[in-house]
Amino acid sequence: MNINFFMPTKVIMTDNCIHKNAFLFKEFGQKALIVTGSNSAKINGALQDITEALSAMEIQYSIFDKVMSNPTIACVYEGAEFAKEQKVDFVIGIGGGSPMDAAKAIALLSVQEVKEEELFSGIYENKALPIIVVPTTAGTGSEVTQNSVLSNDRMQTKMSISTPILYPRLALLDAKYMMNLPLEVTINTALDALSHAIEGMLSVRSTLLSNYFAVESMKRITQCLRYLTPGKTKNSASPLFLDVREKLLYGSMLAGVVIAHTGTTAVHSMGYSLTYFKNIDHGRANALLLPSFLRFTAKSDAETVKKILTAMELNSADEFEALFLSLLGEHEQITEKEIERYTGITLQSKNISNSKVIPSKEDIVSIYSRSLQIV
């Protein structure tokens, strides 16, 4: 039996989570850098809760609110310069995966010199500012991983800074910040999380324990999906919907624990090009590809696919595909030239070799072709 488990983040999920746990901030220092996007954390109330909590603890703060979707390398270097100028002791990332991942990279780059060309080398000094995160979507799982995913323009894809020093010290989870997320964002992020759990099962690095987290995650998220089907959905901003939001947040955190141990697989490798070149949302990109990738894997590893379907209470790959279709609607278009290009990039990615069943060039072409509308 092989088990390998390491997830040192303290995870607290409860209502009014930030205010109830503000006293924990004290141990991290006298001044915080808040890293967030330009908008959502202001609207959903998370930024205000954090600044109030910091003030209550007499902790100073500066705000870096320039993080865009799929943050660039330039963005995190700029944030790190700002962190140094402001002489902060710790970093608080508020938002979806983009601000949290940017916060992690900033926490690293503000205390060590890493040249841009060595940013994804995996070789770093063993130091970073302490990181606190407040997820405001339920998808990325970044709150419990050692990864910071950034857009790498040189490689024309997304790449990860991955080191245990990037594990947040504290993750504060409160579903109330998700209450006003549009249904489309809720679906895309939920499917991102589901994809993490599923890919964790399909990874060569899966263990009995990571699979156990994955199964619980798949169960919880699948239980929520029925409430998200477009057109059949009750008001996803209604207070009644809070329990669904909480379950999604719990499930996506568990899926984060999974990928922290297993990494992602060829699905993420393939999805990155859809996001980078076609601006398809990250979660949606993976979700578009998953049904075909699952069918591909089932040919060689029916047992694992069976476990995934069972956890999701589905009887077949057909049902899996139908479920995803109901959530995703019409699939985007793709040209044969695009497929060729993305396939080349996928073949060079790290994650692909994590897959239990590694797709060949032809397999990748076939999965792209089946997953999008060829024009």
The whole-angstrom separation of Cα 140 and Cα 302 is: 27
Q: Map residues 252-291 to x or -, x wherever contact with a copy of itself holds by CB under 8 A.
A: -x--------------------------------------
Q: Is 342 exposed, middle or buried (0-12, 13-18, 19+ CB in 10 A)?
A: buried
CB within 8 Å of 16: residues ≥ 6 apart: 174
Which of the ranges 32-40, 62-70, 99-107, 241-249 carries the binding residues for a copy of itself, by CB under 8 A? 241-249
Q: How far is the CB of 231 from a copy of itself (least distance, A)?
A: 28
The whole-angstrom separation of Cα 279 and Cα 76 is: 20
- The answer to the question of residue 208 lying near a copy of itself (CB under 8 A) is yes
Q: Which residues pair with 149 in a beta bridge?
A: 160
The answer to whether residues 228 and 191 touch, using CB atoms and an 8 Å cutoff, is: no
The answer to whether residues 16 and 174 touch, using CB atoms and an 8 Å cutoff, is: yes
Q: How far is the CB of 305 from a copy of itself (least distance, A)?
A: 22
Closest to a copy of itself by CB, 4 vs 39, is 4
Among candidate residues 104, 35, 32, the one with its CA nearest the CA of residue 61: 32
The whole-angstrom separation of Cα 307 and Cα 207 is: 14
Residues 155-174 that bind a copy of itself (CB under 8 A): 173
Closest to a copy of itself by CB, 24 vs 57, is 24
- The answer to the question of residue 1 lying near a copy of itself (CB under 8 A) is yes
- The answer to the question of residue 311 lying near a copy of itself (CB under 8 A) is no
Q: How far is the CB of 201 from a copy of itself (least distance, A)?
A: 16
With H, G, I as helix, E, B as strand and everything else as coil, classify residue 128.
coil
Q: How far is the CB of 258 from a copy of itself (least distance, A)?
A: 13
Cα Rg, the chain, nearest whole Å: 20
Interface pick for a copy of itself out of 64, 124, 227, 250 (rule CB under 8 A): 250
Q: Sheet with 90-95: list strands edge to edge.
A: 60-64, 31-35, 90-95, 131-135, 170-173
Which of the ranges 63-71, 245-253, 335-343, 350-358 carries the binding residues for a copy of itself, by CB under 8 A? 245-253
Among candidate residues 223, 226, 229, 230, the one with its CA nearest the CA of residue 247: 223
Total site size for a copy of itself, rule CB under 8 A: 27
Interface pick for a copy of itself out of 212, 240, 306, 333 (rule CB under 8 A): 212
Both tokens assigned to 59: 């902790």
Q: Map residues 68-107 to x or -, x wherever contact with a copy of itself holds by CB under 8 A.
A: ----------------------------------------
- The answer to the question of residue 5 lying near a copy of itself (CB under 8 A) is yes
Interface pick for a copy of itself out of 143, 192, 199, 216 (rule CB under 8 A): 216
- The answer to the question of residue 12 lying near a copy of itself (CB under 8 A) is yes
The whole-angstrom separation of Cα 243 and Cα 222 is: 14
Closest to a copy of itself by CB, 176 vs 284, is 176
Instruction: Point out which residues bind a copy of itself (CB under 8 A).
Output: 1-14, 27, 126, 173, 175, 208-209, 212, 216, 243, 246-247, 250, 253
